[in-house]
Structure 1
C-alpha cells in the first residue's frame, strides 16, 4: 500500500518535533507534522522557557538586597515594567519558535499549521478537510491545564494566561501546591504582586522528599507569599473588576486575579482515538508499551499525552528513541526510572533524582547523609538561608539511590549528579571525587558519615558527619 508519508506527527512540541526531525534528516523518512498552535509546544511557548525567564526577572529585588551586604549603596530595584518585559519575552519566544520551525523545514518535514485528528489507523484528517495517509502516526499533543471543577471556575486564570496578561494583578491568589503553583507564586510575588497561595495539604510539592517539602514551604513564606494551607476555594464569583473567593469554611476574600495551578491532563480530547480502539487510561492518557506503541500497532505516542514522566527532556528522549527504533533500525527504549528534575522557586531551588527518604525507607535499610549549612555568598550578605543536601545510600549495595538539593542553582547541580547515579555509582565513588573549593557542590562529595539510618536494622548506628 502506498502512503503520503512514512510518518505523520500530530503535535509540534518538543517530543513531536524531535521525532519528526530525526526520522526525516537522519533516516530519510517522508514526514508530515500538524500543529494547530505555535511550534514548540508547552515548554517553549507557555512553560519552561518563559517561566524560567520570569524567574530571572523576579530575582532582582533579592539581588539588590544582597549587593548591599557587599558594600554597594544601591537604593532599590526600581519599578518593574511588565509591558517592556512581556514584549521582550514575546520576541524571544518568536525567535525560538522560528528555530523549531526552521529545523523542521531544513529536514524537509512538511508542516501543516492546523489541527489534525485520526480517521483510521493510517489516516489523519486536517481541519480543512484534507485527508493524509501515513505508515506510522505519532501522537505528541502534550497536556493542558485543568480546572478544579468548582462553581465559577471560568472566572479563574490558568497557567497559560500568565504569559498573556495585559498588566500584573495587585493581589493574586494561586491555587495549587505543585511545582507550577510554587513557581508562579514565586514569580508573581517577586515581580511585585501581593501573592497568596492556597493548597489543601500542609506542605507544598506533594510527592517530593518530605524534608525538601518543608524547606520549600517555609521559603515561600520567607519571600512574602501568604500561605493558606489545609483549605480550598469552594466557589468563585464576580466582584466588580475583582474575583470573590468563597472558601470551604465559608469565609470570603476578593482578589484582582485568581490562578488555577491544579494539575494538567493529557490533551487527547477530539483526536478520534477511542473510535479507533486506541486504549486510554483513567486520566485520558494514551496507554503505550515500552516502545511507545499504542494498542493500534501503527499508532505511537510520546510526551505528556502518555502521562509517564511529564518533563520536556523525557518527551525529547522518547521522540528520538521512537525515530531510532522505527526508522533507524536501532531499537532504543527510554528508562523512566531515574529522571532528575528541579523546581525553580527562589532564592533556593529544589532539585531531586531517585528515591525520596520515605521511599528509601520503604524499600529497606538505607543510610541518609545530610549537609545543612549557610552558604558563604549569602551568609556574608547577612542572610540566614540554609542549603540542604541529602544523599540516600542503600545499606547493602552502597549505591546512591537518591539525591535531593535545596539551594541556589540546585537544578544545575542535580544534572551532574544524574550522570554517576545513572551509572550505578556507590557512595565510595562519590567520596573518591576531589572537591572543588569553595563551592556549594563540594558538599555532595564530602559527607563522610551517615546522619541517620532508615528502613530497618543497621550494623552501624553511628550518627554524625565529618
Structure 2
C-alpha cells in the first residue's frame, strides 16, 4: 500500500518538531500539523516566556544589593507593557525559527487541527486528508481547572503571558513547580501574592529539606503562603459588595486592571477552607496539567488511554496500534521539554534509522525556577532511605554575595550516598543558578560517580558549588 507520507506528526512542539526533522533527515517524506503555534507549550506558553519573566523578576532587589556594594543607584519601577511587547516579539521570532527549521528540513507544515480517521489516515480541519505509513502524536498537555463553581473566573498559566496589565494582587492555587515559579515571578514584578496549597508542604515529590528551604525563602520574600489551605468558594467581587472594607480591597478601583465582570481574570471574592474571605484582582489556578489526547479519534482506533487521559505507549513510544506512536507530555511519562525531545529522537532512530532505541527515563535532572532555584537529580533522601542504607551529606549557609549585602538568603548543597556502593544516588541544590549547577552535577551522577569521586575533585574557590566536593562527614545515616 502506498501512502502520501512516511510520517505524519500531530503537534508542533519541541518533541514533535525534533522527531519530524530527524525523520526527514533520513530521506523520509514527513508532514506535520499544528492548530495553534509552532513551538508548542515550551516556546509559546511555557519554559521560554516563563524564564524570561524569571529574569525580569530578579531585578527587583538589584538596587538594594547594588547599594550594599557601594553603587549609587536608585530604586526603579517595572513597566509590564514594555516587557510584554519585547516578550511577544521574541516568541514570534522563535516561532518563525521553528517554521524555517521544519521547512528547511523538507517537512510539510499544515496549520490545521488533525484527527485520526484510521490507523494510517489523518483528517485536517481545513478539509484535507493525508495518509501516512506512521503517525506520531505529540500534542502535549494543557492546564487544568478545578471542578468548582465560577472557576472560569480564574486564570491558568497560559493566560499570564497574555495579560494586558499586571494585577495588583493575585491568589495562586497550587503547590507544584508552576504555582511556586509563578508566585516568585509575580512577587518579583511587584504583585502582592497569596498562595494556597492544600498539602503540608509545597513541591511534593522533591527532597523534603530542599522544598522546606524554598518555602521559607518564598515567605521571607513576602509571599503570603498558606499550607493546608484550599479554595472552597469564589465569585465575582462585584457580587459581594458591602464586604470591601473587611476584605481590604476596593472593587471600584479595580475596573481598569483586568477583564470586566463575567470574564476570567476579573476581581474575584474567595473563601478558603479556614473560613477566611478576601478579594483579589486575579486568581491563578496552577493545580495540574492534563494530556491533550481528547478529540483525536484515538480510542475509536484501539489506542489505549490511561486514567489521566495519557496515551499508553511501550518503551519505544509505540501504542497498541502498531502504526501509531506518541511522545511527550501527552504520554504523561516525564513531562519535561528535554525529555520530549529525547523521546522524539529515540522514535526516529527506532522507526527510520533501524536502531531500536528505548527511551531512558532514569536520572533525569530538573530545575524549579523559584527564587532561589531548586536543582535536583536522582533520589530524594526519603526515597533513597526506603531503598537502602544511605549517608546524607548536606550543608546550608549564607552565600558570600548575599551575606556581604546583609541579606538573609540561604542555600543548600546536598548529596545522598549509598552506604554499600558509595554511589551518589541524588544531588539537591537550592541556590541562585541552581539549574546551571545541577546540569553539571547530573553528568557525574548519571555516570555513576561515587562520593569519593566527588571528594577527589578539586574545589573551585570561592563558589557556592565547591561545597559539593568539600563535605567530608555525613550529617546523618539511615
The answer (yes or no) to whether the contact 1:153–1:235 under 8 Å persists in 2 is no
Counterpart position of 1:376:
400
Tell me the equivalent position of 2:226: 228
Partner of 1:244: 269
Residues 242-321 of structure 1 correspond to what in structure 2 (within 5 A)? 242-321=267-346
Cα distance in 2 between the residues matched to 1:101 and 1:438: 44
The alpha carbon displacement at 1:246 in A equals 2.1
> Pick from 331, 335, 339: which aligns with 2:356?
331
**Alignment deviations for residues 219-246 of structure 1 (CA, whole Å, 9 cap, x no partner):** 1111111112211111221113511112
Aligned position for 2:262? none
Q: Distance in 2 between matches of 1:228 and 1:367?
A: 33
Is 1:117 matched up with 2:115? yes
8 A contact 1:139–1:302 mirrored in 2: yes
Q: Summarize deviations over 1:111-156 as a string: whole Å, max 9, x none.
A: 0001001111111100022111000000000000001111110110
Q: 1:417: Cα distance to partner?
A: 0.8
**Matched ranges for 1:319-358 at <5 A:** 319-346=344-371, 348-358=372-382
1:37-436 → structure 2 map (5 Å cutoff)? 37-76=36-75, 78-240=76-238, 241-346=266-371, 348-436=372-460
3-state SS of paired residue (2:175)? coil
Structure 1 stretches lacking a partner, 5+ long: 455-466
Tell me by how many angstroms 1:202 deviates. 2.2
> Structure 2 CA distance, aligned partners of 1:132 and 1:404?
48
TM-score (ref. length: structure 2): 0.93
Tell me what 2:27 maps to: 28
Deviation at residue 249 of structure 1 after TM alignment? 3.7
TM-score relative to the length of structure 1: 0.96
Distance 1:418 1:230 in 2: 33
**Matching of residues 436-447 of structure 1 within 5 Å:** 436-447=460-471
d(CA) in 2 for partners of 1:438, 1:333: 42
Contact residue 209 and residue 404 of structure 1 kept, 8 A: yes
Give, in whole Å, the separation in 1 of the partners of 2:64 and 2:208: 30
Residue 60 of structure 1 aligns to a residue whose secondary structure is coil
Q: How far 1:331 sits from its partner (Å)?
A: 2.1
Secondary structure, counterpart of 2:161 in structure 1 = helix
Structure 2 CA distance for aligned equivalents of residues 7 and 400 of structure 1: 41
